[in-house]
Amino acid sequence: MKLRHVLPCAVALLGIGMADAQSVPTSSIPHLEKRGQATQLIVDGRPFLMLAGELTNSASSSMEYMAPYWPKLAAANMNTVLAAVTWELIEPEPGQFDFSLVDGAIREARKNRLHLIFLWFGSWKNADSTYTPLWVKKNPKQYPLFLAENGQVITYLSVFKEANWKADANAFAALMRHIREVDGNAHTVLMMQVENEVGCPGATRDQLPEAKAAFNAPVPGKLMDYMVKNKQNLVPEFRQYWEAAGGKTSGTWAEVFGDQPMTNEIFMAWNYALYVGQVAKAGKAEYPLPMFINVDLGESIGHYSSGGALPIQLNVWQQGAPAIDILAPDIYLPDFAEWCARYHRSGNPLWIPETRGDAANAFWAIGNHAAMGISPFGIERQADATTPLAQAYGLLAQAAPEILEAQAKGAIKAVSLNAQHPTETVQLGNYTLTFSMGRMRGPAPAPTATPTPAAAPAAAPGRGNAPASSYAIVISTGPDDYTILGSGLQATFNGPGGSAAAVGALEEGAYVDGSWVPGRRLNGDDIMLNYDAPNKAIKGESGQGFRLAAGAPKALHLKIYQY
């Protein structure tokens, strides 16, 4: 189908007026805004927390396949779905566009009160160029491929050929023009991912003549000048690598960064950034939605690809691709917290487009790193209202206005506990909260013949087992007041300098249309974490606090006083 034939009918089906470039005021388009301490996504004038999930790669290529999933995704408390739009399907012949799948996804998302983020599978998807149209694949003379060091041609489009990025940018611009026309007023589509996990085989670089020439030319002034002017603010691992090579302020790539494999990676990162940045810029000229790239941290094939925005390459990508607003990690590896920290720096806001469906991780990223949201991968397979993720999203959706305000004020933190990390202390506002994994009241587990030291506490009379996953968000809402959202843990607290503090008032409740509606007032057994409070008090420890049962996370409002 040609664009001129598809458009009027698509717009009619979507039930909205067409928006031309002039009629969409830039300020009303979904955009990123620095609000206090956080960079947030603003949708229709308000900050928006993305409770998202990403479809499997091929799902959005069939409306029939997707039909049963849209309502399930909405029922699982999602508000945003990430769906692929592929170059091969929107431009089957050069210059002939078919946006019927894009329109179908927008229509279904609206019906189910969902937002969309489109993933542009253009030149590369996980390094390879499998989503290019056949007319690109069959014409490597016009659209040249990557040349490996051993002389082998690899099926990756080369970043060093103008014809490649121009063809990609042309298709992406047509897509953005179409999204503006059908969605410039309604804002179902929030952001765009440009390409998918780009990179080339580890520690290598393209050997095409243009690539060799670029490698042997001076490091471009745009990067070199930035490094020199901002030396103290560069990400430390990048600065250290440069300094270890002599800290030169001009020269070829090998002269400035040393004749080592990592230099190939920095060189390729710069050139991928230039290419992807050009594609994003062409799209933004049509409709300037926020744009991000996603980064393979090395999980998929056991090692990462060369040239992606790995933590050491953050500054390189930021300078090479200013049209890309977020460098977003796909976090499948262990040590979720560490990866969040490595991407929430150097002015880069945190948004996690792919990860596992873990409620504790969602709380961690949103509470400790002002994340705009997270998005577990393969979401249609797990779209079920009873999963821990769906329950967590349910509570986050209710509390989103308060969470977003607290992110801007820097008045929010999170904890995530497990068997290896069973306690954590949070200092926020006037108090220190000491969290531990909750041991829920209930029947004691059967005693073992010879209890191990680790098993002994769990077998104490009247205690149940610790939950598998315990997590919470803590928001300071006033000098003595907190909102706690979480599951499977308990906490005591102290005032400044470790001074004694106790529960002034504790209530559970829920948010209805953004307002707090109190439920039970909690006291007695519900604030005495054990009956040993007198002995604890003599030792200067508090026995009072709050407890959140395992399972679906709940909300508490807490007032503390010092005595």
Residues 368, 360: contact at Cβ < 8 Å?
no
Closest contact distance (angstroms) between CB of 65 and ligand DGJ is: 16
CB closer to ligand DGJ, 77 vs 294: 294
Measure CA 45 to chain center.
Answer: 21
Closest contact distance (angstroms) between CB of 340 and ligand DGJ is: 18
Closest contact distance (angstroms) between CB of 62 and ligand DGJ is: 17
CB closer to ligand DGJ, 126 vs 139: 126
Residues touching ligand DGJ: how many (CB under 6 A)?
A: 9
Pairing of strands 489-494, 546-548: antiparallel
CB closer to ligand DGJ, 191 vs 414: 191
> Residue 128, interface with ligand DGJ (CB under 6 A)?
no
Q: Which CA distances in Å does 209 have to 101, 124, 362?
A: 39, 21, 46
Closest contact distance (angstroms) between CB of 157 and ligand DGJ is: 17
CB closer to ligand DGJ, 260 vs 300: 300
Torsion sign across C-alpha atoms 284, 288, 289, 291? positive
> Residue 196, interface with ligand DGJ (CB under 6 A)?
yes
Residue from 112, 126, 382, 387 binding ligand DGJ (CB under 6 A): 126
In 239-350, at which residue ranges do the beta strands (DSSP E only) sit?
A: 291-296, 326-331
CB closer to ligand DGJ, 339 vs 377: 377
3-state SS class at 257: helix
Position of minimal CB gap to ligand DGJ = 197
HEC-encoded secondary structure of 381-439: HHCCCCCHHHHHHHHHHHHHHHHHHHHHHCCEEEEEEECCECEEEEEECCEEEEEEECC
CB closer to ligand DGJ, 194 vs 491: 194
Specify burial of residue 440 (Cβ count, 10 A radius: 0-12, 13-18, 19+): middle
Closest contact distance (angstroms) between CB of 365 and ligand DGJ is: 18
Q: Dihedral (C-alpha) 302, 123, 119, 13: value to the nearest 10 degrees?
A: -150
> Residue 354, interface with ligand DGJ (CB under 6 A)?
yes
Residue from 168, 181, 195, 197 binding ligand DGJ (CB under 6 A): 197
Contacts of 98 (CB under 8 A, 6+ apart): 1, 2, 3, 6, 89, 90, 91, 92
Residue from 28, 300, 418, 530 binding ligand DGJ (CB under 6 A): 300
Task: Please provide the size of the chain in residues.
Answer: 563
CB closer to ligand DGJ, 354 vs 480: 354
CB closer to ligand DGJ, 311 vs 553: 311
Closest contact distance (angstroms) between CB of 57 and ligand DGJ is: 5
357 to 386, contacts with ligand DGJ by CB under 6 A?
Answer: 377
Torsion sign across C-alpha atoms 161, 163, 165, 166? positive
Neighbour count for residue 544 (Cβ, 10 Å): 20
Closest contact distance (angstroms) between CB of 332 and ligand DGJ is: 7
Residues 402, 29: contact at Cβ < 8 Å?
no
Closest contact distance (angstroms) between CB of 294 and ligand DGJ is: 6
Tell me which residues touch ligand DGJ (CB under 6 A). Answer: 57, 126, 196-197, 294, 300, 330, 354, 377
